[in-house]
Amino acid sequence: MTRSPTALAWPELPLNAWRGTRDTLHMCTQIIGKSLLASAPPQNHWWHTALRVTSRGLYGSSGSEDRCFDVDVDLIGHVVALRTEFGAAMVPLRPRSVRSFYEQYIETLRGLGIDLRIWTTPVEVRDPIPFERDEVHVEYDAGWASRFRQVLHHVDASLKEVAASYVGKQSPVHFFWGSFDLASTRFSGRRAPERTGADPVTREAYSHEVISFGFWPGGISPAGVSVDEPVLYGYAAPEPAGFREAALGVDAASYDPRLGEFILPYEAVRTAPDPVATVRAFCDAVYQAGASSGAWDRAAIERLTGDPAAR
């Protein structure tokens, strides 16, 4: 019998218990993401480089004509599986340095006929170490990696349910390897003001007004903000006046001025009587606060009923 995500237990994921594995896996997904960036045809807002949640972990595809390959990050079998039309190969996920993983990953791609050159400096992290020199990140605990996969599965399914109520432009639910978070983004349809001094990645990501929500396992943000537990997050960019003062009406949710986001501890979600409903309530409240204070044309972009055929 198929069970809904509501009926399944959401596991604990205390950051300090798996921080070393988290950081190593972050670097491995950056290597994979950068290989997609180097080979995939570009899409708006960098969607071509993001990974998608699968039943076993994460998935990406280059989608190009001359350098086409698929990559599965299998967090049950603990391998990175690479496939092309000419064959397949695997790179193990196990305790070892990021340098070792990077060298084997690039060499495995080369053996499948995919010769890539990537920028080897990690992004969106403090004090980045180039992959070919990273002997610092060496931890990999299979149990915690598998538990992370379970959490991604639950949140991914919940965010997809939330997405059903929106008919405006919105992203897929996808995993950004730079920030190491699962995200779902809605667009108002209006261009956003130019961000003075923004780098090209940020400029493209926030070229239009957005409201985003997602899941972050915690860590240290590029700005140096430390969050020592996994959280659900939600924000509006640009942030309209009055947004941060909104009363969401969701227990344990609050606005974090350091991040510029509303956050909801994952622990409060997983221990709720209905975690899926809690995720939905949080995302809906963030969206309503942002869309109302930002004067979005809600009649044009919201579904009139719960039926996907309503529009």
pLDDT confidence of residue 258? 96
Q: Has residue 211 been placed in a domain?
A: yes
pTM (predicted TM-score): 0.92
Query: Are 127 and 178 members of one domain?
Result: no
> 90 with 45: CB under 8 angstroms?
no
pLDDT confidence of residue 303? 79
> 93 with 108: CB under 8 angstroms?
no
Distance CA 113, CA 68 (A): 10
Alpha helices in 164-302 (DSSP H): 200-205, 266-270, 275-293, 298-301
Q: Has residue 55 been placed in a domain?
A: yes
Q: Has residue 171 been placed in a domain?
A: yes
Query: Are 268 and 155 members of one domain?
Result: yes
Last residue of a domain, one of 65, 98, 133: 133
Per DSSP, the residues of 123-187 read: SSSSS---GGG--S-----HHHHHHHHHHHHHHHHHHHHHHTTB-S-BPPSEEETTTTEEEEEEE
pLDDT confidence of residue 85? 87
Structural tokens at position 137: 């990140």
Query: Are 97 and 193 members of one domain?
Result: no
Per-residue pLDDT of the chain (311 residues; tens, 9 = 90+): 444 444 579 999 999 999 999 999 999 999 999 999 888 766 676 677 899 999 999 999 987 667 789 999 999 999 999 999 889 999 999 999 999 999 999 999 999 999 988 999 999 999 999 999 999 999 999 999 999 999 999 999 999 999 999 999 999 999 999 999 999 999 999 987 887 777 776 776 667 899 999 999 999 998 899 999 999 999 999 999 999 999 999 999 999 999 999 999 999 999 999 999 999 999 999 999 999 999 999 999 997 665 555 44
Q: Has residue 139 been placed in a domain?
A: no
Domain that holds residue 77: 13-133
Tally of domains in the chain: 2
Query: Are 164 and 293 members of one domain?
Result: yes
Query: Are 92 and 159 members of one domain?
Result: no
For residue 245, count other CB atoms closer than 10 A to its CB: 9
Q: Has residue 68 been placed in a domain?
A: yes
Query: Are 91 and 195 members of one domain?
Result: no
| β-bridge pairing 254-256 and 57-61 | unpaired
